[in-house]
Homo-oligomer: A and B are copies of this chain.
Amino acid sequence: MGGLGEIGKNMMAIKYEDSIIVIDAGMMFPEDELLGVDIVIPDYTYLLENKSQIKGIILTHGHEDHIGALPYVLKDLDVPVYGTRLTLGLLQGKLKEHQINSANLNVVKPRDILKIEPFKIEFIRVSHSIADAVAVAVHTPLGIILHTGDFKFDMTPIDGDTLDFHKFASIGEQGVLVMMSDSTNVERPGYTLSEKSVGETFDETFRLAKSRIIMASFASNVHRVQQAIWAAAKYNRKVAVVGRSLVNVVSIASELGYLKIPRNTLIDIDEVGQVPGNRVVILTTGSQGEPMSGLTRMALSEHKQIQIMPGDTIIISAVPIPGNEKSVARTIDHLFKLGADVIHESIAGIHVSGHASQEELKLMINLVKPKFFVPVHGEYRMLYKHAKLAEQMGIPPENIFVGENGQVLDFTKRKGQANGRVHAGRVLIDGLGVGDVGNVVLRDRKQLSQDGIFIITLTIEKSTGAVLAGPEVVSRGFVYVKESERLMEDAREKVKDVLAKTDPEKIKDWAGIKSGIRDTLGKFLYEKTKRKPMILPIISEM
């Protein structure tokens, strides 16, 4: 229902007879053209139509693109949710914000086997850029369906717990019917570096920094935060945490034991000023240049507690997500102007991905040896390339399925086939509105954003159509009105002309006069300005 042909809003359902389980329920940030939209979630009409059959929702890990739709889904569906401790800890924070207090959340551990008849669901530890991530093996009466979740093979993970090679090997040995595998990094040759390699860069950077260190990363990357804290402790620096989401994650993760913070390391943000620069590290949000985040505010000198000072070393331990390149570049520029030294993307070793590269994807296919293969979690070209990769590994092309959201795949023990589609799509969330913003509203916003609006008001006598007041003309987002008084006055005259030429009987017929005004004025304004503002005649009757 989500995640095919896009990075984001991952969601899928597995159905056997009349039992359905759902894997993940993620959100996505809107593309630029979805003006004003806050977030996008999958259209889960299919689940609503099959409410009674849904036995549970299984979560692979706690990233927004895997759990972010749950606050909406759980308002409509009262079903148990299963996930590891950190995943559910992060979810609970989100549910609280949405005032959902009664969710049925169930903690599972890697290697746990959960029975939801007719399925047995096995959780298998994987490495990823968030702690406590798992793959899911669904044992069905017809065979095993393995969903890798988001994963990489990290040979030296921060918490010491590697991906569970043995379990993947053993289910591979048992025989896997279908594997769905993470396609995010299929375009990268070789192996993704270990998270630990970032620690080495941190060590070097912390050793050399002569004043404050400010580090921005994804809030949910607990291992990254852990490494910064270790480096701080090693070089005798105190750590202050800034930014709501980061404060939340640090508190949840340390409470649950996923983050180890040495005693007397943390200080309050207000205490930063009392510690010498070379004894402090500030951990903050804003690695994507998000407008309201910690680092962005500091860069714009708008942060209440932290002012950037010459000599500060700023580490942006992330890569810009596609679409954020410009805002990140702008943030970096501002920081340099304030005299800070900024260590970012272009410096090797400051960030590693959480997703498997080509050689790891091949390794996964070799370990699991699935009969059928479905690349997931990727834009279309990634799914396509992952399919080609699987083909090179010996999986027959007819056993590989590259689908789009809504695609139904039917499997028997021997055969797999695409079998029609269920309703799928996106639901746009704008403020409190769920799905009340659609194409018409977005088209209007687009037009308004490009050339603004030009409004003509008019009061007519109901019975005769005689014009009693107006026309008045008002514009917003069109031109500087002061410098365009003449244009506005000419526009008003144009409307008067239209009215004068129209039989009052026809003015009574609103639609006709409205389209007359729109046409005449549209042509006039385009000729004068080469712009096409929205033209909106409003007629009142007395």
Q: Is A12 an interface residue (CB 8 A)?
A: no
With A459-B459, A542-B459 as known contacts, state yes or no: A453 contacts B476, CB within 8 Å.
yes
Within A454-494, the residues touching B (CB, 8 Å) are 455, 457-459, 468-470, 472, 474, 476-480, 483-484
Among A379, A440, A474, A478, find the residue whose CB has the most chain B CB atoms closer than 10 A: A478
Set of chain B residues within 8 Å of A342, measured between Cβ atoms:
381
Set of chain B residues within 8 Å of A119, measured between Cβ atoms:
none
Chain A binding surface, main DSSP class: mixed
A448 CA to B536 CA, complexed, in Å: 14
With A323-B326, A346-B187, A379-B329 as known contacts, state yes or no: A472 contacts B441, CB within 8 Å.
no
Looking at the complex, which one of B334, B431, B444 makes contact with A476 (CB distance below 8 Å)?
B444
With A452-B448, A477-B445 as known contacts, state yes or no: A432 contacts B540, CB within 8 Å.
no
Q: Can you report 5 A-B residue pairs in the complex whose CB atoms are below 8 A from each other?
A: A332-B381, A441-B477, A444-B477, A448-B477, A470-B540
Within A500-542, the residues touching B (CB, 8 Å) are 528-531, 534, 536, 538, 540-542
Nearest to A440 among chain B residues (CB) is B480
Among A448, A472, A474, find the residue whose CB has the most chain B CB atoms closer than 10 A: A448
Q: Is A425 an interface residue (CB 8 A)?
A: no
Within A1-34, the residues touching B (CB, 8 Å) are 5, 31-32
Q: Is A78 an interface residue (CB 8 A)?
A: no
A325 CA to B536 CA, complexed, in Å: 35
Q: Is A96 an interface residue (CB 8 A)?
A: no
A103 CA to B342 CA, complexed, in Å: 46
Looking at the complex, which one of B433, B450, B476, B483 makes contact with A531 (CB distance below 8 Å)?
B433
Q: Would A336 and B436 count as touching, CB distance under 8 A?
A: no
A336 CA to B342 CA, complexed, in Å: 38
Looking at the complex, which one of B438, B440, B445, B468 makes contact with A449 (CB distance below 8 Å)?
B445
Number of interface residues of A (CB under 8 A): 67
Q: Is A74 an interface residue (CB 8 A)?
A: no
Q: Is A36 an interface residue (CB 8 A)?
A: yes
Q: Would A478 and B326 count as touching, CB distance under 8 A?
A: no
Nearest to A453 among chain B residues (CB) is B453
Looking at the complex, which one of B384, B436, B478, B480 makes contact with A438 (CB distance below 8 Å)?
B480
Looking at the complex, which one of B329, B337, B528 makes contact with A432 (CB distance below 8 Å)?
B528
Q: Would A35 and B329 count as touching, CB distance under 8 A?
A: no
A440 CA to B35 CA, complexed, in Å: 19
Q: Would A542 and B468 count as touching, CB distance under 8 A?
A: yes
A470 to chain B, nearest CB (A): 5
Q: Is A380 an interface residue (CB 8 A)?
A: yes
A446 CA to B476 CA, complexed, in Å: 11
A332 CA to B322 CA, complexed, in Å: 14
Set of chain B residues within 8 Å of A326, measured between Cβ atoms:
31-32, 322-323
Q: Is A333 an interface residue (CB 8 A)?
A: yes
Q: Would B32 and A437 count as touching, CB distance under 8 A?
A: no
Q: Would A333 and B380 count as touching, CB distance under 8 A?
A: yes
A36 CA to B532 CA, complexed, in Å: 10
Taken residue by residue from 387 to 403, chain A's Cβ proximity to chain B (1 for < 8 Å, 0 otherwise) reads as 00000000000000000
Among A32, A346, A445, A446, find the residue whose CB has the most chain B CB atoms closer than 10 A: A445
Looking at the complex, which one of B322, B337, B459, B474 makes contact with A380 (CB distance below 8 Å)?
B337
Q: Is A430 an interface residue (CB 8 A)?
A: yes
Looking at the complex, which one of B322, B445, B542 makes contact with A452 (CB distance below 8 Å)?
B445
